[in-house]
Chain A
Amino acid sequence: MALLPSAFSDLEPFAAKWCRATERERWAARTSSGMDEMQALYDAVLPRVPEARAYCDGFPLDDMPEDAVHLLQLIYSFVIVSFPVELWGQPYVPDTLGTTFDRISEPLP
């Protein structure tokens, strides 16, 4: 069964792995993925961001259908992989492996 709205079916191959509710899960996905995989996600999502924003903006934030929430979560994953792809060339921020900075609470979705 599709996770994303039908207009975004081209992004469906990324949905199972990258539609994650919390930053903690998205960070875990980022730091356990290879650059090729994140580059593919980035390249697929970047040109669709304006359209995805417009689609999600059609619903109130506190009452979004499940597939729109998944689309929002996929954009969040695009955001978190944009740093490795655009800046670091590796999953972690360079010279920061000795530490963490855990997001302990966040607004949802």
Chain B
Amino acid sequence: MARFPKPAEGSWTQHYPHLETGAVSYEDSISPGFYALEREAVFRRAWLQVGRVEQLPRNGSFFTRELAVADTSLIVVRGLDGEVRAFHNICRHRGNKLVWTDFPREETRGVVRQFACKYHGWRYDLDGRCVFAQQEGEFFDLDKADHSLVPVHCDVFAGFIFVNLDREPSQSLREFLGPMLLAIEDYPFHEMTDRYSFRVECRANWKVFNDAFMEFYHAPVVHLGQHPRHMRAMIKDAGYEAPHYQIEGPHGVVTTAGSLHRGWEMPPENVKPADLATRSGLFGAWEVPDLGELPPGINPAGVQPWGLSSFQFFPNFAIVIWQTGWYNTHQFWPTSHNTLMFEGHVCSVPPRNASGRIAREMAAVAFKEYALQDANTLEATQLGLESRVVERFPLNDQEVLVRNFHQAVGSWVGEYERKRAKG
């Protein structure tokens, strides 16, 4: 018996005519050949989130970003005019990686007026112009104006910095995001500068990982142990249903009801003692900050009681906005067809006092306890898929975003191949 009404068509999946209901292949997650196509068709075409504007607090602030999926490194920098720009991190003289500290393969950050190459001393201003070539007179007809850093298309949405590696992106960032994601633009992300950051390299395809963060069907199973013992049978029996799914092009959102989210309203025996003591838990600090009026787009169907909305930014980024007034992000960067770098951030308004700091620590620790369960399970999934013993897998209606996501990747790859065939 459905707890929440389904669309008139009978299911969320059938509500979207481009989706079928049959079993799906996971060849797209185990094939090195398909990954080679994805790198071109998806990661060199789509807008990719690479950081927050708060990471560039001053003019001249920069960070580098290693993008193994595109075999490149980027410099993201705030110019003297305050604009955020991105460049490939390569000196135009002999191809040395321009900006790095101690370890050429690791990311770095800082504040500069110019970028100077560690090899032969060529220098570039923050707009990427070559302003100095060592012993310029030794070169043959060298025009520094022809040797600027190679720019990367860069734009900012709600303080999130996006890049596009295509020579000429077919869509602007805002066209790419579309109305459903643009509708969260006015959420006060810029006030949530208190940030815990996590990373791990895992042995799974980036989509297999992303799948688990698009559905909560797994939550009452994988994460069952996170609840007090006497509640587990009830939670497992209840399973998971979302009150709202929405799909727009390759992007998606799932909203969850807030029945387990209000620890302070629950009988104390149903809350872990450490949550009671710290007034916090996975769902965030119980002291909800006053954020003023929030954009309706964060809860697009007006679900009450609202728990969270998880916004899936195609291809590899998600923002989860919680009723308790904070957000976290997930990002899935492929490093090969069956490995990825998983990155997460837990962000909130800075605490007013030590009690607020302790509550945030509890939320950040709980985030890791859950993420570890996901990460290890997904390595196991990758192993199962790679056996190729089973060819097709059924997806249910709570996995509608997973279905749409793989279909979107497939259609981007298909379109790329058609264009390439035409030459």
Contacts and interface: CB of A to CB of B under 8 A. Distances in A.
Interface in B174-215: 194-200, 202
A96 B361 CA distance: 21
Interface in A34-77: 42, 46, 49-50, 53, 56-57, 59, 61, 64, 68, 72, 75-76
B272 A82 contact: yes
A79 to B, nearest CB: 5
Main secondary structure on chain B at its contact with chain A? helix
A87 to B, nearest CB: 6
B96 interface: no
A69 B355 CA distance: 13
B357 interface: yes
Interface in B334-381: 342, 344, 350-351, 353-355, 357-358, 360-362, 364-366, 368-369, 371-373, 375-377, 379
B277 interface: yes
- Most-contacted residue by chain A among B202, B357, B364 (CB, 10 A): B357
A23 B365 contact: yes
B264 to A, nearest CB: 15
Given A83-B369, A99-B375, A78 B274 contact: yes
A109 B344 CA distance: 21
B353 A57 contact: yes
Contacts of B354: 53, 56-57, 59, 61, 64, 68, 72
A90 to B, nearest CB: 11
Interface string B200-241: 101000000000000000000000011010000000000000
Q: Which 9 A-B pairs have the closest CB atoms?
A: A56-B354, A82-B274, A49-B277, A96-B372, A99-B375, A96-B376, A57-B353, A53-B355, A105-B197
23 contacts: A46-B277, A49-B358, A50-B277, A53-B354, A56-B354, A56-B358, A57-B354, A59-B354, A72-B357, A72-B358, A75-B361, A82-B273, A83-B365, A83-B369, A99-B202, A99-B372, A100-B372, A101-B371, A103-B198, A104-B197, A105-B195, A107-B196, A107-B350
Given A49-B277, A53-B354, 15 more contacts: A56-B353, A57-B354, A61-B353, A68-B354, A76-B358, A83-B369, A96-B372, A98-B376, A101-B199, A101-B368, A101-B372, A102-B198, A103-B368, A107-B350, A107-B360
Interface of A: 23, 42, 46, 49-50, 53, 56-57, 59, 61, 64, 68, 72, 75-76, 78-80, 82-83, 86-88, 93-107, 109
